[in-house]
Structure formats: structure tokens, C-alpha cells
Amino acid sequence: MDDLIRDYARKGFLKDLLFNDITSVKDIWELQKKLKIEHLPNTVMVVTIDNYYSDTLNRSEIQKQTIRIRLYECLKRFAEKFGALVVNMEENLLAVLLWIERDKESEVEYSMNTGACLKEQVEKETGISVSIGIGRRYKDILDLHLSYKEALSACHHKFFLGKSQVIHIDNVLPFSEDLGIYSVEVESQLSVRVLACDEEGAYNILRELMGNIPQQRPINPLTMKTRLIEIITTLMRVAMEAGADQENLAALSGKCVEGILKSDTMADLQNLMQQAIKGIIQQICQGRKRMNLEVFERALNYIRDNFKKPITLEEVADYVHISPYYFSHGFKNFIGISFIDYVTKLRIDEAKKLLLTTDMSIGDVGKQVGYYDPNYFGRVFKNVVGIPPSKFKVSKKVLLDRIFSEG
């Protein structure tokens, strides 16, 4: 059998063992012989690159593949020393299949020492930080898949322990599936803070949420991530109902979900959740700005059409369907002046035009722009323009007559 073909077939055989796809010992022995495997493995290690997804986020596929090949070649050199076998399982997951003699005094200690040597060699030769999970030794080759599952579970504990770890399944407790700290009540509290655009308040809830995980028996990372994705989905729905842009939310949601699933450690996940909440709040704020723009533009059009009649802030607020209190504060932030000052400006500007272009009396001009008391109109006009309407009319008309006569 050609070496290349044999290598390919050997990898397929090893994957079948790890996935429990071969159930006949006889078939295993025959394939062992054909593939020239000296010892059938009885223990599995899994090796993952620390922070792989975050560190390669902006790298090309060729650059990522180069990293994976360097790691694979290093593991192969190590495996040859120990009579072990290496197979790629996933993009960032490789399995090292070992044969450990049965007379070893301490299987766990031996496995841990071997794993430590492997990690040291990888980091020294490649500069790549890795974490290693180790399963138990099994006598029956048909149980090798159990060692693989244990190795995966052990490696998942680096989520809480941090990167660059060697973890044996016998040195850690089983994960808890209890999600009591991620209750609906906590989700509701977080939603309220996000809806109020209270970043610091939302961060405080998040820090408390992720800091209360029991260290004696931590929650299964996959279970935790699934629940956090549910919470993010709820926050996205809240943001959409608050007027955030649906397309922007969809893009943010996809990025958040992918990041949560690929987060390597608890610290990574907490940072990602904080960024997600910040992004959602920003979308809510932008949505409200767009809504405010539409609301206050409608309000301005209504005021311009009706300022000559008696008009009140409550009337305009009712027209655009928001509370007078919110309208009063929002209007000043949007225009830069208060509602009363804006209406006054429109009226006085219109009065100045009428005083200059018509022969209407000052009282009639006042009524035309919404002031039915001539004295009150005079006081307002003088307060805004600096002179009474009578003087304004005379002085400006004299000036205009002089300009036209000279022309």
C-alpha cells in the first residue's frame, strides 16, 4: 500500500475508532495489520490551540492552514517518540492516540507528564499556545471512544481554568447543568437596563451573572453558551421593538452567536457579552434618534402650519403621540430652543414680513400671527426685536424707500 494512501486510510480508521463507528474487534485487528499499526491505542489526548478563533479572526484561510499544519507536524514528531498516532478531528482540534502499558504505576500521573512534555514541545517549537485534555485508559479497544469523550470534556475545563492547560478527566469534577443563576428574572433585569440604554447598569448585572458561577462544580460551557445565546436573542427582540434597525441587529446577532460559541475562556465570553450588550444599546440609541427625527420633523411641520392660531405644547405632543414631558425635553434637544421660543420666533418673523409688506395695522398684524392682545404683541415683539412694532414698521419702511429711490 502506498504510504500516502496508507496514511489517509489510517486517519479514517482512527476517526472511526474515536466515533465508535467500528463495532467488530475482528475488523479492527485486520485493519490494524493492514495499516501497520504496532499497538492499538488505549488512551486519547485532545489538543486545541488557545484563542484560535479570536487570534485568527482577520487572517486568511492560507494563514490559518499554515498554523494548523505546523501544529500537526509537531505532534507527529512527538508521537513518533511515544509510538502514538495523530489525527485531525476539527479545525482546531487534534487527537493524539497513545498506548500506555498496563503496568504503569500511575496512569494519571504518566498521562499528565506525557501531556506536559507534549505541550512544552509544541510551544517551544512552534510558539503556539495549546491546551490538552486527557481521557482514561481503556483495556477494550471498543471503548476507546469513551476516552475521546473524556478528553474532550477535560479540555473544556480550560474554559474556567484559562489557556495553556494539561487537564486529566480524573482531576476535574463533572460539569453541572444547573442554570439557576441565569433565571428569567435576571434576563428581565438585563432587558430593562438595555432598554434604558444604561450600559453601566447592564454591565453590573453581567459581571454579577458571570462571577457567581460555582467554582467547585462549574456549569457546562456549552450549556452556559446556549443560555447566553437565548438571552442575547431576547435582547435583540427588545432592541427591535425599541426601533433599532433590523438589518444591523441581524448582522450583530450573527456575529455575537458565532463569538459566543467559539469563545475559548470565561474571560473571553464575558468580554464578548459586554461588547454584544454595548452594540445592542448603540442600535437602540440610533433607532431612537431616527424615531426622534421623524417625530420632531412631523412636529415642526405641524407647528409651521398652525403657529398663526392658538397652539399649545400639549396639542403638538398629542399630534405626534408622545407625552408632553418627553416632547418638551426632546424638542429643545432637537431644535436647540424651547417650544415657546420656537413658536415666538415663527410669529415674530411673520409679523416683521407683514409690517414691511402690508398696510395692516399693528393690532391686525398681531392677530394674524396669533397674538389677540395688541399690548401683549407689542411687548413680545420689542423683547425679541429690540424695538416696538410701530418703530420697526416706520424705520424699516423709510430704509426700504430710500434704497429703492436711490436705485
> CA-to-CA distance for 37 and 97, rounded, in angstroms?
12
For residue 262, the tally of other CB atoms under 10 A from its CB is 17
Task: Enumerate the domain spans of the chain.
Answer: 3-171, 180-288, 294-406
Reported for 372-376, long-range contacts at CB under 8 A and 24+ positions apart, including other chains, are none
Q: Model confidence over 147-201: pLDDT tens digits? A: 999 999 999 999 999 999 999 999 998 998 887 777 888 889 999 999 888 999 9
Q: Domain 294-406: which topology?
A: Arc Repressor Mutant, subunit A (1.10.10)
Q: What is the pLDDT of residue 405?
A: 47
The cell numbers describing 99, all together, are 498506548
pLDDT, greater one: 82 or 88: 88
Asked if residues 236 and 253 have their Cβ atoms less than 8 Å apart, the reply is yes
pLDDT, greater one: 34 or 291: 34
In the chain, the percentage of residues whose pLDDT exceeds 70 is 95
pLDDT at residue 403 greater than cutoff 50: no
Q: What is the pLDDT of residue 176?
A: 85
Instruction: Quote the pTM value.
Output: 0.70
Any residues with CB less than 8 A from the CB of 280 and at least 6 apart, and which?
A: 194, 232, 235, 236, 239, 244, 249, 252
Q: What is the pLDDT of residue 396?
A: 62
pLDDT at residue 105 greater than cutoff 70: no
Q: Which CATH number fits domain 3-171: 3.40.50.80, 3.30.70.270, 3.30.930.10, 3.60.150.10?
A: 3.30.70.270
